[in-house]
C-alpha cells in the first residue's frame, strides 16, 4: 500500500499507559512512529491512556515522559504542549466518548447486556491490509467465535477498543504503528470505524521483541527499562540506534546511525515480519561505536556523570580509555589505577609476568634509565633501549611494565599512561612492583 495519498498529512501517535516505566518495546513503538512522522514531514502525537485510575501513578507518567525526552523523541502535540485535537489525556475526554457512543446508539449498533453495552458486529468476513503483516482476515459470520464486544462497562467506563478508535479518528491519525500483539484487535477497530462512517488509518504491526532464549521480553527482564540505560552509561543516540535495529533492516549493511541518519533511512518496508531478539551485547557494541568518534573533550564531558568527584587531570585520563570502554559506566574502573596509588594487581597478570624470568632485570634497567631523563617525552623510547641491553625484545618488557604501572594485563596505550603518571610516579610504580 502506498503512502502517497497521505503524504501531505502524516499523523502518527504513541499512546502509553502510565502504570509503569517506559519499556523498550514501548520505546521502539514510539520510535518507529516518530521516525515516520519526521521523515515525511508529519506530526507525532503523544496521547496518554490514563483511564486506569487504580494503577496510574505520577511517577510512571514522569518516567515515560523523561524516557522519551532522553531518547530525543520530541512530540508535536501532547498533554504538556497542547494541540488542535486535545485534550491528550484520555481521562479528560469523557464527553467526546459519550458523543460517539450516542452515535452508535442512534444507528442501533450497541445494545445493553447485564448493565454493560455491547457493540453489534456486522456478521461478515473482515479483511485488513497491514503494511508489515500483509492481509489478515477474521470471519465474523461465526458468532460463537466472535461474540459482540463490550464497549461500555456496567460502571459507565469505556473499554480500550472503543476509546482507542475514537481517539484515533478525532486526532486524525493517519498511520497506527503498534506491536503485533494488537494485530487481532484491528478487525474489531475497523468495524467501529465503519460504524462511525470514518476512513480508518493505515495499520502497521511491528514484530515482538524476544529474549535470546526466544521467550517474550517482559518488564522484569534485563534491559527492559529505558530509564536504566542512562544510568548504565549509554548515549541516548546509541540506544535509539539499537532500538531501530530491533525489527528493522536498512537497505545497506550499515548498522550505525545517528538519529538524523535514521530519519532519512527508515521505512516500514524494511521492518521484518519475524520477531526481533534483544541482545545486550549488541546494544553495548552499538554504544561503543557511538562513543568512539566523540572528541576527547566530549567523551570526558559525557562520562563526568559517572563520578561524584572528578580526579585531577580527568580529561586526559578519560581520553586514554575512550577506545577501551563500551559504556560510560565502565570509565571509573578503567581509570582507577591512575589515581589509586595502592591499586591491586590482577592475579592472572602477575602469573603471566612470573613466567618471564627476565622481567625484574628489564624493569630495573628501565627505571634506572628513566631516572636520568631530562625530557619525559622520551620515556617510551627508553623501553626499546632497555630491552636491547638485555638482548631481549621490547615485548618482553612492555607487558611487565604495563602490569607494574596499572596492575592490569590490558588498558590504555603505554605512552598515554606514562604521560599521565609522569616521571616520578612511573618510577615509583616500577619499584613498588619489584618490591613484591
What is the pTM for the complete model shown?
A: 0.92
- List the beta bridge partners of residue 248: 271
* Among 344, 338, 343, residue whose Cα is nearest residue 418: 338
Q: b/e for 51-63, b at 16 or more Cβ within 10 A? A: beeeebeeebbeb
- For position 8, what pLDDT does the model report? 55
CB 233 within 8 A of CB 329: yes
Inter-axis angle of helices 280-291 and 236-244, nearest 10: 130
State the Cα–Cα distance between residues 246 and 242, nearest whole angstrom: 7
> What pLDDT does residue 20 have?
83
The pLDDT score that the predictor gives to residue 52 is 80
For 33, the enclosing helix (H) or strand (E) is helix 24-39
CA distance 322 to 331: 8
* Confidence (pLDDT) at 39: 96
| 34-63 residue pLDDT tens | 999 999 999 999 999 998 877 888 999 999
Residue 212 pLDDT level (bands cut at 50, 70, 90): confident
pLDDT per residue as tens digits for the range 82-119? 999 999 999 999 999 999 999 999 999 999 999 999 99
Residue where the block lists cell 529474549: 211
Residues ≥6 apart with Cβ < 8 Å to 231: 329
Please tell me the distance from the alpha carbon of residue 226 to that of residue 390, in angstroms, as a whole number: 56
The Cα 428–Cα 387 span in angstroms is 20
Comparing 214 with 314, the larger pLDDT belongs to 314
Say whether 276 sits in a helix, a strand or coil: strand
**Cis, peptide link before residue 87, omega less than 30° from 0:** yes
pLDDT tens-place string over residues 262-309: 999 999 999 999 999 999 999 999 999 999 999 999 999 999 999 999
- Of the pLDDT bands very low, low, confident and very high (cuts 50, 70, 90), residue 415 is very high
3-state class of 113 per DSSP? strand
Average pLDDT over residues 16-36: 94
Query: Please, what sign has the CA dihedral across residues 165, 168, 169, 175?
Result: negative
pLDDT digits (tens, 9 = 90+) for 216-238: 877 666 678 899 999 899 999 99
Asked if residue 6 has pLDDT above 80, the reply is: no
How far apart are the C-alpha atoms of 109 and 126, rounded to whole Å? 17
Q: What is the bridge-based pairing of β-strands 43-46 and 11-14?
A: parallel
Alpha helices in 223-291 (DSSP H): 227-231, 236-244, 259-265, 280-291
Local structure of 186: helix, strand or coil: helix
**pLDDT level of residue 3 (50, 70, 90 thresholds):** very low
| Range of weakest confidence among 157-171, 205-219, 306-320 | 205-219
Sign of CA dihedral 23, 28, 33, 39: positive
- Rounded-to-integer distance, Cα 170 and Cα 161, Å: 14
Q: Which three cell numbers stand for residue 111?
A: 445494545
Amino acid at each position: 500500500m502506498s503512502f502517497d495519498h497521505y503524504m501531505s498529512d502524516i499523523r502518527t501517535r504513541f499512546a502509553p499507559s502510565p502504570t509503569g516505566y517506559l519499556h523498550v518495546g514501548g520505546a521502539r513503538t514510539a520510535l518507529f512512529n516518530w521516525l515516520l512522522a519526521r521523515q515525511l514531514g508529519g506530526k507525532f502525537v503523544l496521547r496518554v491512556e490514563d483511564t486506569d485510575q487504580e494503577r496510574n501513578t505520577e511517577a510512571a507518567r514522569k518516567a515515560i515522559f523523561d524516557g522519551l525526552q532522553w531518547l530525543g523523541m520530541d512530540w508535536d502535540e501532547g498533554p504538556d504542549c497542547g494541540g488542535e485535537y486535545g485534550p491528550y489525556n484520555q481521562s479528560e475526554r469523557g464527553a467526546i466518548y459519550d458523543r460517539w457512543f450516542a452515535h452508535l446508539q442512534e444507528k442501533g449498533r450497541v445494545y445493553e447486556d447485564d448493565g454493560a453495552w455491547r457493540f453489534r458486529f456486522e456478521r461478515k468476513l473482515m479483511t485488513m491490509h497491514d503494511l508489515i503483516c500483509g492481509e489478515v482476515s477474521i470471519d465474523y459470520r461465526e458468532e460463537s467465535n466472535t461474540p459482540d464486544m463490550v464497549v461500555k462497562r456496567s460502571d459507565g467506563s469505556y473499554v480500550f477498543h472503543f476509546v482507542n478508535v475514537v481517539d484515533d479518528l478525532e486526532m486524525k491519525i493517519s498511520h497506527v504503528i503498534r506491536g503485533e500483539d494488537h494485530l487481532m484487535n484491528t478487525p474489531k477497530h475497523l468495524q467501529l470505524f465503519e460504524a462511525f462512517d470514518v476512513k480508518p488509518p493505515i495499520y502497521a504491526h511491528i514484530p515482538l521483541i524476544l529474549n535470546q532464549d526466544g521467550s517474550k521480553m517482559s518488564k522484569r527482564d534485563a534491559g527492559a527499562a529505558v530509564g536504566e540505560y542512562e544510568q548504565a552509561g549509554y548515549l541516548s543516540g546509541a540506544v535509539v540506534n539499537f532500538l531501530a535495529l530491533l525489527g528493522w533492516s536498512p537497505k545497506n549493511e550499515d548498522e550505525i546511525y545517528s538519529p538524523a541518519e535514521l530519519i532519512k533511512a527508515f521505512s516500514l518496508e524494511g521492518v521484518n515480519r519475524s520477531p526481533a531478539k534483544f541482545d545486550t551485547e549488541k546494544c553495548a557494541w552499538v554504544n561503543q561505536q557511538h562513543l568512539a568518534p566523540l572528541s576527547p573533550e566530549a567523551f570526558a564531558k559525557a562520562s563526568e556523570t559517572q563520578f561524584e568527584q572528578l580526579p585531577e587531570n580527568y580529561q586526559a585520563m578519560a581520553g586514554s580509555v575512550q577506545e577501551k570502554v563500551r559504556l560510560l559506566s565502565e570509565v571509573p574502573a578503567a581509570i582507577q589505577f591512575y589515581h589509586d596509588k595502592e591499586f591491586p594487581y590482577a592475579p592472572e597478570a602477575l602469573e603471566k609476568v612470573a613466567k618471564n624470568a627476565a622481567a625484574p632485570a628489564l624493569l630495573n634497567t628501565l627505571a634506572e634509565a628513566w631516572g636520568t631523563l631530562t625530557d619525559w617525552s622520551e620515556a617510551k623510547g627508553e623501553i626499546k633501549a632497555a630491552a636491547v641491553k638485555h638482548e631481549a625484545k621490547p615485548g618482553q618488557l612492555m607487558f611487565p611494565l604495563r602490569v607494574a604501572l596499572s596492575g592490569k594485563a590490558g588498558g590504555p596505550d603505554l605512552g598515554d599512561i606514562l604521560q599521565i603518571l609522569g616521571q616520578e610516579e612511573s618510577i615509583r610504580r616500577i619499584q613498588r612492583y619489584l618490591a613484591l
